[in-house]
Each structure stands twice: as structure tokens, then as C-alpha cells.
Amino acid sequence: MVMILFTGCSHFNQAIGEASGEYDLLVIGPESYRRILQCFLDFKATQGIKAKFHPIELISMNITEPSIIAEKLHEFIAGEYFKSSIKYLILVGTYEHVPTKYVYSPGDELGMADFNYKPSDWYYGVPDWNDSEIGLLGGNIPRIAVGRLPVKNEEELDRLIKKIIRVEAGFQPGLFLILRDQSVNVDQLLNVLHFSSPIRVNTTPSTLDSSFFKNVTFLVTITHGSWNTLFTRTPEGELKPLVTSNEVSRITENYALHYMAACFAGALDSEGECLARVLITSAGGPALVIASSRTEWSENPILPVFWKRFLATGDVGGSFIEAVETYLLDANVFSASKPSFSQYNFYLTKVIYGDVSWRVENPVGSMMNRDASPNSSSRMENSLKGLLNTNIVEKEAKPAWIIILLLATVFPSCILVFQKQWKSFR
């Protein structure tokens, strides 16, 4: 694998930003972020991604109503899609900087709260969005992969851009970890990973300390969630946090991607601090997070299809688009005659925080391959034993790569844990 070293920022990419014709990535955020974002645009150019920055101020034009700004923003992005065939969109900032669209999709969030309007950045990924198609078979299929850098200030943006460049430029092989309950069926995901019998490890919340993330590349957590915490149940039945937004600073290791199948962990509009936002903006932790801003389903079919496409192509955004399209065209999920709003929520409320245009070169080949020597396999296994401080229960003799299935005692469906009253969003 050829590695291109990125040594710093220049201004050659400005010509790309001003050029007409096709380009790949549109970045929209406050004008005050331009200088820092230039480093990111320059880096993407070294990766073969043509990018353009456009200030949100030129779209909002002193309008203060978020819903109107969202409409104008959608109109601008749709125009860029039809004119320049953009594939990726990155929104920079929180909803206060770049607003999202609250889409009417009724649901009682498992009876614990009423959120009939769901925040959805995917509105911007559908150039021909039609509100009347919400919940219908094939309704509002995204054509642009949408991500967000949910930073609050220049300091956070600078730290996040440096982490993205550091992880993408220095991508290293490592472990694929799945944390889930024994009662959660992950056969579809394991089939995608070409595994019938991964390494299995019994674990409790106490193992999720800072050393847990060492040598990790990809992490999937299928757990309970609130906006600031991932939870599990101990063998004694006690609900305990796996990781909270207050503890993220303890994670000093970087890893590539964290897919969180947990309720509310990606809720950028919460009154408290969002776990996914803290994970992505911290110096440690993942360079990219996929999460949910509202309720999640532990067997959401988007998850295995994403990993299947991502491991085949290495294209984060393109793989997620394909997973969503497969989902929205599934007649077993949606009906042409009867809207399925609750199922539609599982698409609307998915968020990608980080560089949605990231294309990982040969993601499968970068992991441990089938031809790994017994000695190298043994070294990895011993390293894992030391990492988790527990016993390996079951393992595949010659895996395509090392997949660790961590077994925690959690329920198969997501529960909501509320610590204070939510405000109404619309």
C-alpha cells in the first residue's frame, strides 16, 4: 500500500473550490472556519477528492429562521448536485451554525417521549425531496452522502481536522470489535463478515477502560443508550454505563470508525452533551461515528448492508447511501399503500459525524488475512488476552481478520434512559 504523507496546509485547493464543472465534496460552514477547513480541503486533494467550501452566510443571507435557512440550503445543494454531480456533503457546526430539517414522522419513541418531528440531515442528500413520500416504499432516496462535523468553535474544529487527517493518512490494521448481548441476533452482520464463529469474549462494563480501545480499527456497539451514555446490564441485572460523555477524555487511542446502534447517542439537539459529538470532537476516540439521534432498533437492516458495502468498496458515504437505498426499497419494510413512519425513522435519524467522503483503501486487506502465519495469529490472540484481561471462549482457526464478539448482558431491543425532561423540537 502506498502512503501519501500530508505535511501541512497550502492554498492550491482554492482553485478547485472556485473552478466550474464536476467535483466530489461540498463543505458548508461558517466563513470563520475557512482557514482551518483549508487544511482539510488540501488533504482531500491528496486523496483524489475534489472539494469545495461554501460559507453558510452566503446562503442564509441574514435570515434567522432555521426552517427557512434549511429550505434555502437544500435548494443550493440540489443545484450543486445537478450542476456538478457532487457525491458527498459535509456540514460544519452544530444546528445553530448549520440548521437541520425537522421532518414530520410520527412516533412515540417506545412510549417514553413524543417526537413527531425528527432532525434529519438526510433532507439535504435528497435533491428532489418530497414530504408526501415520507414513510412510503422508495420514498426520498438520498443521492448525496451527508456527514457533519458537529463542532462548536474553532478549537474543536482544529482538533477534529487534525484527528481526521492523522487517522486517514496513517490508517493501520487492527481489531474489529462487536459489543452486543447474547440475545441480540447478529447473524446477518457475521455473514457479511464471512464469519460463522468469531472469537467470543465475555466482558463486563469494567473492561471498557482506556486500554480497551488499543489496536481497535472498527467498533460496533449494540447496546442501550441515552444522549450521553451507552448502557448495558451486568449478569446480576444491574444497569450500568459502558461509556459516558464525561468519560470520553479517558480514551487516548484513536480508532477509525464507531457504529453505535443505540438510542439517542447521536442526538445533537439534546439539552445535555451528546455522546457521539464528544467522541468525534475529542483528540482520542474515533475519526468517524455513525449513530442515531432518536430511537434505534438492534436489528436495523441498514447496519449489515453498510458493512457489506464498506468492506467491499472502502467508501464510507457511498456504502451508507447504498444501505439506505436497499432499506427504502424493501417491500417487506415499506408499503406503497400504507406509510410506515416508525420504520422510516431508522433512516431519518441516522447521523454520520466525521469525514463522510473517506475512502479506505482495501479495508479487508488491511486487516489480518487468511494467510497470516500461525505465529502472527498467536501474537494477536495473546495481545487480545492481555487487552481484555479475560479468557477466549471460542475462536475461528483462520479468520479473514480478527473479529472479537464481546458478549455483554443487554436486551435485544433498545431502551431509553432519560435523566431530565426533553424540550419539544419542531
Angstrom distance (rounded) from CA 95 to CA 22: 28
pTM of the model as a whole: 0.86
Angstrom distance (rounded) from CA 86 to CA 145: 9
Ramachandran class of 340: left when φ > 0, alpha when ψ lies in -120 to 50, beta otherwise: beta
Boundaries of CATH 3.40.50.10390 in the chain?
Answer: 14-149
Regarding the domain delimited by 172-408, which CATH topology (the fold level of the hierarchy) does it fall under? Rossmann fold (3.40.50)
pLDDT at residue number 178: 85
Q: What is the DSSP letter of 22?
A: -
Cβ neighbours, 10 Å, residue 302? 21
pLDDT at residue number 206: 53
Listed residue (288, 274, 199) closest to 244, CA to CA? 274
pLDDT at residue number 204: 53
Angstrom distance (rounded) from CA 70 to CA 240: 39
Regarding the domain delimited by 14-149, which CATH topology (the fold level of the hierarchy) does it fall under? Rossmann fold (3.40.50)
Q: What is the mean pLDDT of each run of 10 residues along the chain (426 residues)?
A: 47 43 95 96 95 96 93 97 96 97 80 78 98 93 98 97 95 83 75 66 57 83 87 70 86 92 92 93 96 88 94 95 96 88 91 97 57 33 39 30 53 37 38
pLDDT at residue number 39: 94
pLDDT at residue number 242: 81
pLDDT at residue number 405: 63
Bridge partners (DSSP) of residue 229 are: 244
Listed residue (192, 157, 150) closest to 353, CA to CA? 150
pLDDT at residue number 376: 32
Nearest-5° Cα angle at 291, 426 to 32: 70
Per-residue CA distances from 421 to 114, 117, 270, 358, 361 (Å): 12, 17, 10, 37, 44
pLDDT at residue number 371: 28
Angstrom distance (rounded) from CA 67 to CA 73: 10
